[in-house]
């Protein structure tokens, strides 16, 4: 192993994805595709975070099928369960146990600042579950339970990782011995690539989201070639041709979004994409985008369908993953309990 590879192995990645609703292009470009690249060089742990999913009411049968679907998507996208740990969060009970301890470290004021809670709870705050409010505390326990050093996510999760850092340093101040080094390492967010925030195809100012009522707003990983084509054809645009410079893209959210998606899918800078298409209209650009999106997503949905035919294989992968995750989590939680003063 080269020195830089050895260095990378000291780094440990954790990330999660919720088994709710429709997995979409934003999840793929903002998260899953980066995980696939990172697993080669980093010790990686990826979780299907079902405990997070129930912070909003879920139908039990739907939760189960979404969990299989997300597992299939991760594997179909190229995560190798022999290299990386893949498991569903509720199978490792230590997540919930550490979350309780962190509930007693995290301050209400910190949670009151979380923008995702405000968005998800909306006007009906009083009716939101306590779980939805405490969601970021559980996320901190996911990360810190494995002493992860890096957390690859889309841009929307940055604030939650900052909270995990606050919880880690608060825990260190409260419980690490004065002469010892800090117990928790502060995890770093890894917000990678051109598409850290993929926007809705119907409104360039809104994030592409699993829960948007309009299916035309997002490209699902399970969409057929025809559906992808139809959604991109119908995607909102503006009447101007594509510009030459980034400055001219300001105040053109829909154009920026489609160009960002194109750049990300083709692994090139937005400047390069602009140089390819400047002066052209959307009627020229959209067919190229359709071609690229279909070329990337079709093999993934094909592989997903194959995996979902026999869920036994996914069951085995998740069970194996949970066993390996527990091996790391158990001793760390034991140390935490010792530091807090519990008799263990």
Contacts 24+ apart (CB under 8 A), 199-202: 199/253, 199/254, 199/257, 201/231, 201/232, 201/234, 201/235, 201/236, 201/257, 202/235, 202/236
Give the residue from 204, 205, 201 showing the smallest Cα distance to 223: 201
Contact window for ligand AMP (CB under 6 A) among 137-145, 159-167, 195-203, 316-324: 195-203
User: Rule CB under 6 A: is residue 207 a binding residue for ligand AMP?
Assistant: yes
User: Rule CB under 6 A: is residue 14 a binding residue for ligand TRP?
Assistant: yes
Three-class DSSP category at 100: helix
User: How far apart are alpha carbons 301 and 306 in whole angstroms?
Assistant: 9
- Contact (Cβ atoms closer than 8 angstroms) between residue 193 and residue 262: no
Nearest to ligand AMP of 144, 336 (CB atom): 144
Catalytic position from the list 93, 210, 288, 337: 210
Catalytic position from the list 11, 64, 93, 120: 120
User: Rule CB under 6 A: is residue 153 a binding residue for ligand TRP?
Assistant: yes
Q: Which of 8, 22, 27, 217 binds ligand AMP (CB under 6 A)?
A: 27
Total residues contacting ligand TRP by CB under 6 A comes to 14
User: Rule CB under 6 A: is residue 203 a binding residue for ligand AMP?
Assistant: no
Q: Which residues partner with 152 through β-bridges?
A: 190
User: Rule CB under 6 A: is residue 66 a binding residue for ligand TRP?
Assistant: no
Paired tokens of 31:
């998260």
Please report, for residues 12, 107, 138, 153, the alpha-carbon distance to residue 15 in angstroms, rounded to integers and kept in the order given: 10, 24, 13, 7
User: How far apart are alpha carbons 217 and 66 in whole angstroms?
Assistant: 20
Three-class DSSP category at 177: coil
Contact window for ligand TRP (CB under 6 A) among 73-81, 153-161, 216-224, 304-312: 153-161
User: Rule CB under 6 A: is residue 154 a binding residue for ligand AMP?
Assistant: yes
Site string for ligand TRP, 156-195 (x = CB under 6 A): -x--x-----------------------------------
User: Rule CB under 6 A: is residue 289 a binding residue for ligand TRP?
Assistant: no
Residue 86, CB half-sphere, CA atoms under 13 Å: how many?
Answer: 27
Give the residue from 303, 221, 296, 299 showing the smallest Cα distance to 265: 296
Is 5 catalytic? The answer is no
- Least separation, in Å, of the C-beta of 198 and ligand AMP? 4
- Least separation, in Å, of the C-beta of 82 and ligand TRP? 22
Paired tokens of 99:
């979350």
Q: Which of 8, 12, 13, 18 binds ligand TRP (CB under 6 A)?
A: 18
User: Rule CB under 6 A: is residue 20 a binding residue for ligand TRP?
Assistant: no
User: Rule CB under 6 A: is residue 32 a binding residue for ligand TRP?
Assistant: no
Q: Which does 304 bind (CB under 5 to 8 A by kind): ligand AMP, ligand TRP, none?
A: none
User: Rule CB under 6 A: is residue 52 a binding residue for ligand TRP?
Assistant: yes
Sign of the dihedral through C-alpha 159, 163, 165, 169: positive
- Least separation, in Å, of the C-beta of 262 and ligand AMP? 15
Nearest-Å Rg of the Cα atoms of the chain is: 21
Q: Which sequence positions are flagged as catalytic?
A: 120, 207, 210
- Which residues of the shown chain bind ligand TRP in the complex (CB under 6 A)? 14-18, 49, 52, 139, 142-143, 151, 153, 157, 160
């Amino acid at each position: 192993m080269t020195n830089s590879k050895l260095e990378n192995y000291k780094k440990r990645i954790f990330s999660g994805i919720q088994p709710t609703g429709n997995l979409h292009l934003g999840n793929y470009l903002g998260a899953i595709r980066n995980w696939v690249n990172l697993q080669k060089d980093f010790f990686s742990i990826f979780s299907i975070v079902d405990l997070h999913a129930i912070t909003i009411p879920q139908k039990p049968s739907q939760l189960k099928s979404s969990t299989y679907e997300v597992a299939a998507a991760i594997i179909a996208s190229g995560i190798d369960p022999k290299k990386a740990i893949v498991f569903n969060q509720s199978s490792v009970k230590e997540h919930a146990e550490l979350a309780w301890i962190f509930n007693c470290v995290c301050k209400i004021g910190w949670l009151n600042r979380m923008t995702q809670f405000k968005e998800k709870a909306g006007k009906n705050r009083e009716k939101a579950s306590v779980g939805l409010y405490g969601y970021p505390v559980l996320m901190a326990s996911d990360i810190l339970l494995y002493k992860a050093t890096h957390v690859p996510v889309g841009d929307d999760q940055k604030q939650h990782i900052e909270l995990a850092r606050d919880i880690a340093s608060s825990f260190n101040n409260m419980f690490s011995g004065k002469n010892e080094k800090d117990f928790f390492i502060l995890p770093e967010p890894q917000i990678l690539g051109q598409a850290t925030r993929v926007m809705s195809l119907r409104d360039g100012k809104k994030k592409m989201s699993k829960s948007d009522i309009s299916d035309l707003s997002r490209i699902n990983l399970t969409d057929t070639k025809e559906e992808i084509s139809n959604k991109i054809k119908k995607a909102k645009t503006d009447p101007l041709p594509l510009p030459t410079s980034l400055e001219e893209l300001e105040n053109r959210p829909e154009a920026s979004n489609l160009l960002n998606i194109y750049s990300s899918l083709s692994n090139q800078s937005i400047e390069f994409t602009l140089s390819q298409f400047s002066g052209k209209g959307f009627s020229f650009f959209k067919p190229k985008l359709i071609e690229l999106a279909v070329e990337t997503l079709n093999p993934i949905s094909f592989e997903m369908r194959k995996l979902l035919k026999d869920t036994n294989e996914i069951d085995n992968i998740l069970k194996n993953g949970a066993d390996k995750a527990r091996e790391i989590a158990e001793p760390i939680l034991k140390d935490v309990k010792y530091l807090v003063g519990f008799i263990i």
